[in-house]
Amino acid sequence: MKRAKLWPMFALLVCVAFGGWSGFAVFSAVAGEKEQVFAAGSFEDPEVCARCHRDIYQEWSHSMHAYAWDNQWFRADYEQAHRETGGATDMLCGPCHAPVAARTGQLPPHDGSEFDAVSQRGVSCDFCHTVTGLEQVYNMGHVSEPGRVKRGPRGDGREMYHAVEFSELHTRAEFCGSCHQVIHPATGVAIIDTYQDWQNNEYGQKNIRCQDCHMTPTPGVGQRRGRAATMGENRSNVAFHAFSGGSVYVQEFLGHREQARMAREMLRAAAVVELSPRVTNDATLELTVDVRNVGAGHKIPTGVTYIRKMWLQVEVLNGAGEKVYSSGHLVEGNHVDPEAVFFRLLFVDEQGELTGKSWRAQGIGYDRRIAANSSEREVYRIGLPARSDYTINTRLMYRSFSQATIERLEGILDKALPPLGSVEMAKATAKVSY
């Protein structure tokens, strides 16, 4: 059986000048084993898996893994990175979103024009269940061995259409980390650091794994009874293959209302907001807002945090219900108040400017995310106009991406998209008198 390691398939970058990707020549090269690519058709179509694993297939088919490639929001950024780097990012970003294509020589070209039907199904069943090892826990370091043997966290199922084998790797967070940890190959910057973040915090030290929270249908660690296959054994716990995260907008766009509901639940379970207000002698409201990460095993936001929007919305109302202060609300065009307090990460580019373009990352320019079991504090100083009883309403809000992203994609697609909504992750209210 041939074995393929994906990491040598990444383009080797040879530095010829400084300055992000622009100063790098790209050479196609293979290190290590000679055979790196399997024949097209080596991986099963998910529809084959659905014949016996109907419920799991249904869950997966509504997951973001299933839409990892067929995702116009990802593809717009992927195409932009391709243009700006002369294709240097194709085999950095593409293999995590189209792993079967990367392993069967259908990627590149970057546009998917050579993809067969299985390659277009994103991160599908047979990719995950034919992984035999890891070369590295970043940049898609999985080792694949497609064939009749399917590997998973048990290995005690009956062999029918395929053989079954226990894989200890499938029980570990490293399995997920190989895609959910991305290192810029030219600068060494952690573009996505979810795995490393988890590994170094209390969740990682206690081995509360990615699978414990994201492969259960409710927030937090949970279990559910069921069967992995139609004729399989009734188990005390069957992993949930919808992989719930925070992608509310995309799931609603796809018509997956239940998955969108679960995503809201995940977001709302992640944080709490606590207020400590006081009024000074000079009629200044000193409002201390603590945002605490109580439910996520990693920083919030995580993943492509340079695209995410998480921010504070604060309003102060007088006794007549009139608004005397506002921050973080929506402004014209459905954009978020640019002066809001944001929790996010941005890179610094070769000119020393902040950027959300990961392919230009020379370093981390701004990082205000909220670590697991930790909090971030913001203090507002608000002048009160007159003596009154005041009500303070504070909300922690979230968007998977910005309104500017929607507008850019509308221009690319030449069609209108549904308006971008916001999810309330947490809220708190307090009252003061002056």
Note the pLDDT tens digit of each residue in 247-305.
999 999 999 999 999 999 999 999 999 999 999 999 999 999 999 999 999 999 999 98
95, 219: one domain? yes
Q: Could you tell me if 237 and 365 lie in one domain?
A: no
Q: State whether 283 and 234 are in the same domain.
A: no
The DSSP secondary structure of 338-378, one letter per residue, reads: TTSEE--EEEE-TTS-EES-GGG-SEEEEE--B-TT-EEEE
Do 77 and 117 belong together in one domain? Answer: yes
Query: In this structure, is residue 115 part of a structural domain?
Result: yes
Q: What is the mean pLDDT of residues 96-112?
A: 96
Would you say 76 and 84 are in contact if contact means Cβ atoms under 8 Å apart? no
- Arithmetic mean of pLDDT over the chain: 90
Is 343 within the bounds of a domain? yes
The answer on 177 and 102 residing in a single domain is yes
239 and 326 within one domain:
no
Q: Both 239 and 290 in a single domain?
A: no
- Give domain status of residue 263, yes or no: no
State whether 193 and 108 are in the same domain: yes
209 pLDDT exceeds 70? yes
Residue 253 lies in a domain: no
Q: What is the pLDDT of residue 346?
A: 96
The more confidently predicted of residues 133 and 234 is 133
pLDDT band for 230, please (50, 70, 90 cuts).
confident
**Is 281 inside any structural domain?**
yes
- On the question of pLDDT at 31 being above 80, the answer is no
CA distance 297 to 293: 9
Give the C-alpha separation, 420 to 252, whole Å: 10
Q: Examine the domain organization and report whether 229 and 174 are in the same domain.
A: yes
Q: Name the burial class of residue 323, with classes exposed (0-12), middle (13-18) and buried (19+) by CB atoms within 10 angstroms of its CB.
A: exposed
239 plus 302 within the same structural domain = no
Q: Is residue 116 part of a domain?
A: yes
Average pLDDT over residues 374-379: 98
Last residue of a domain, one of 226, 244, 262: 244
How many percent of the chain have pLDDT more than 70? 92
CATH number at residue 291: 2.60.40.10
Region 141-166 average pLDDT: 92
What pLDDT sits at residue 213? 94
Query: Which domain-ending residue is among 229, 244, 259?
Result: 244
Token readout for 421 is 């909504």
Do 194 and 320 fall into the same domain? no
Tell whether 14 is covered by a domain: no
4 band by pLDDT with thresholds 50, 70 and 90: low
Contact, 299 vs 200, CB < 8 A?
no
**What's the total number of domains in the chain?**
2
In a domain, 295, yes or no: yes
Q: And the tokens for 129?
A: 């269940």
Q: How confident is the model at residue 336 (pLDDT cuts 50, 70, 90)?
A: very high
Q: Indicate whether 71 and 216 sit together in one domain.
A: yes
Cis-peptide into 108, omega within 30 deg: yes
β-pairing verdict for 284-293 and 271-279: antiparallel
Question: How big is the CA angle at 141 (ends 138 and 147), to the nearest 5 degrees?
Answer: 150
Distance CA 431, CA 224 (A): 42
Residue type, 127: F
Q: Name the CA dihedral angle for 400, 344, 186, 23, rounded to a multiple of 10 degrees.
A: 90
Question: Which range marks the domain in which residue 394 is found?
Answer: 270-433
Name the burial class of residue 402, with classes exposed (0-12), middle (13-18) and buried (19+) by CB atoms within 10 angstroms of its CB: middle
Q: At 3, is the secondary structure helix, strand, or coil?
A: coil
Entry pTM: 0.91
Q: How confident is the model at residue 69 (pLDDT cuts 50, 70, 90)?
A: very high
Mean pLDDT of 15-29: 36
